[in-house]
Amino acid sequence: MSSYSSGRQLGGIMGSSSIAEIPGILERAFALSKAGEGERVVLLSTHLYDELMAEAARIALNNLGADFVRVVLPPKADGMRPAQPLGAMALDVIKQAQMVIRIAPKGFHHPQTPDVPIYHPMFNEVFKAGTRWLDFMMDYPPIWRLFPTPELIERTNNGAARMEKAKVIRVTSEAGTDLTMRKDGRKGARQCGVVDEPGMWDNFGFGMVACAPLEDSANGILVISPGDRAGQLERLAVDTERIVMRFEAGRITSIDGGANAEVLRRHLTSFNNPDVYRIAHIGWGTHDRAIWGGPGFTIADWESYSGALTLHFGTNIFDTPARHTGLGGKVPAGTYHWGGGLLNHSFWLDDEQIVKDGKIVARDLR
C-alpha cells in the first residue's frame, strides 16, 4: 500500500474503526512492517483468539500477496494455569518464516488466558534467525486511532537511540517520587507498532521507549498518585489512592498507603518470589493519540500515553538480535511481570531532562 498519511486516512484516524474497515487497516499496518509480495508469514494464535481479527488478517495478507500459513497453537496447561503453548513443531514452522503476526485472544490481559509470553527462552530463540514478530492485541475501535504515524515512529526510534547511550536514569515528581537507577550497557528498546528490521518484535498500537535497568541498581522512592494507572489493580481503570514504594538495591522494600497498598502487598507476597519486586523495564510513552481513562482506555493507551512513566516489574529476559528490540535483563522467566503507567513524572537520562512533569521536553523526542 502507499502512504497512510493522506487526508482521507487522517479522517479515519480521528474516529474509531468499524469491522468492515479492519482488513484494509491491517493491510496498511502489515505493509509498514514489510509484509509484501512473497513474504513468508505465519499467522499465529493460541486456540483461543479473536476470530474476526484473524479473518481480517488473513484477508490483508492475501491482498498483500504474502506466502502465509495459519498456525493455531494447542492448549497447554501446567496444573490449573495456562502454560507456554509454543511446541517444537510450531517453532520449526515459525523459524522458516520471515515474519510472524500473532492475533491475541480477546481479553488477553486476564491471567488465565493462554498466551505466547515474550518473557520465555523459547521466544528469544525465535528471533535468532532474524524472524520479525508483530503482536495484535487490541479490539477494533482503537486500531485506527493508534495507527503508527511517521512522526510516532521517528520520535520513538530517536528515544531508543538516546536511551541506549544513557548510563543513569532518574525519575522525580511533585508528589514525591525520587528514584535513581543505572543501565550501563543495556539496550534502548522501542515499540511503535512496526517490525521492519530482522529480529524485531513489536506490539501494534503501542508507542514507548524502554530499557531494563541493572537489576540491583534502583534506590529511592516511587509515589503512585490517584489517577495513575500503576497496573496492579486489574479491576480499576485508574488508581484511587496514594501509594508510596521504597526501593533499595533494586527491589521494592516497602509499600505504604491505604487499601490499594494492602491489596498490592498481599498480591505480590503470594508469589513468594523476591524477583517480583525488581524493575523489569522503565521508560516513557511516545503515543500522542493514546488516551487516559474512560471506556476506550486500553493497555496500549496506559503503556504508551505521551510523556507518562512506564514502569514494570518482574521478568525481563526478553531479547532479540535487533538493536532496539528486547530488554536483555536477568530476572528469570516465570517471574510475575506487572506494572503500568504513572502521570506527572519527570524523567532524566544522565543529566538531560527528557520528560518534565509528564510532558516530553527533549526537542527531537517530542
* CA nearest neighbour of 57 among 89, 96, 28, 14: 28
- Nine cell digits for residue 246: 521504597
Contacts of 297 (CB under 8 A, 6+ apart): 229, 237, 291
Closest CB to Fe ion among 64 and 300?
300
Q: In angstroms, what is the minimal distance from the CB of 91 to Fe ion? A: 23
Instruction: Considering only the stretches 101-109, 189-197, 217-225, 307-315, report the one whose residues sit in contact with Fe ion under the rule CB under 5 A.
Output: 307-315
Binders in 73-92 for Fe ion, by CB under 5 A = none
Instruction: Considering only the stretches 58-66, 152-160, 260-268, 310-318, report the one whose residues sit in contact with Fe ion under the rule CB under 5 A.
Output: 310-318
Tell me phi and psi for residue 41, to 5 degrees.
-125, 140
Q: In angstroms, what is the minimal distance from the CB of 356 to Fe ion? A: 24
Torsion sign (Cα): 185, 191, 194, 195 = positive
Strand partners, 355: 347, 360
SS3 194: coil
Q: What angle do CA 287, 195, 213 make, to 5 degrees?
A: 65
Closest CB to Fe ion among 130 and 334?
334
Closest CB to Fe ion among 49 and 338?
338
Q: In angstroms, what is the minimal distance from the CB of 230 to Fe ion? A: 13
Contact 210, 186 (CB under 8 A): no
Closest CB to Fe ion among 82 and 117?
117
Torsion sign (Cα): 306, 309, 312, 316 = positive
* DSSP letter (8 states) at residue 104: P
Q: In angstroms, what is the minimal distance from the CB of 210 to Fe ion? A: 8
Q: In angstroms, what is the minimal distance from the CB of 7 to Fe ion? A: 36
Q: In angstroms, what is the minimal distance from the CB of 29 to Fe ion? A: 22
- The 3-class secondary structure across 215-257, one letter per residue, is CCCCEEEEEECCCCECCCCCCCCCCCCCEEEEEECCEEEEEEE
Q: Long-range contacts made by residues 67-71, C-beta under 8 angstroms, separation at least 24?
A: 67/38, 67/39, 67/40, 67/41, 68/39, 68/40, 68/41, 68/42, 68/43, 69/41, 69/42, 69/43, 69/93, 70/42, 70/43, 71/42, 71/43, 71/44, 71/45
Q: In angstroms, what is the minimal distance from the CB of 280 to Fe ion? A: 6
Q: In angstroms, what is the minimal distance from the CB of 310 to Fe ion? A: 8
Around Cβ 151, how many Cβ atoms within 10 Å? 12
Instruction: Considering only the stretches 72-80, 235-243, 291-299, 309-317, report the one whose residues sit in contact with Fe ion under the rule CB under 5 A.
Output: 309-317
Kindly state the number of chain residues that form the binding site for Fe ion, as judged by CB under 5 A.
Answer: 1
- Nine cell digits for residue 12: 479515519
Strand partners, 345: 173
120 binds Fe ion (CB under 5 A): no
Q: In angstroms, what is the minimal distance from the CB of 313 to Fe ion? A: 9
Tell me phi and psi for residue 107, to 5 degrees.
70, 35
Closest CB to Fe ion among 102 and 312?
312
Instruction: Considering only the stretches 111-119, 154-162, 248-256, 312-320, report the one whose residues sit in contact with Fe ion under the rule CB under 5 A.
Output: 312-320
Residue nearest to Fe ion (CB): 312
Closest CB to Fe ion among 57 and 171?
171
Closest CB to Fe ion among 58 and 278?
278
* Cα 323 to Cα 259: distance, rounded to the nearest angstrom: 42
Closest CB to Fe ion among 155 and 281?
281
Instruction: Considering only the stretches 8-16, 101-109, 110-118, 304-312, report the one whose residues sit in contact with Fe ion under the rule CB under 5 A.
Output: 304-312
Binders in 13-32 for Fe ion, by CB under 5 A = none
Binders in 249-278 for Fe ion, by CB under 5 A = none
Q: In angstroms, what is the minimal distance from the CB of 63 to Fe ion? A: 33
> Binder to Fe ion among 132, 312, 324, 345 (CB under 5 A)?
312
Closest CB to Fe ion among 101 and 210?
210
* Site residues (vs Fe ion, CB under 5 A): 312
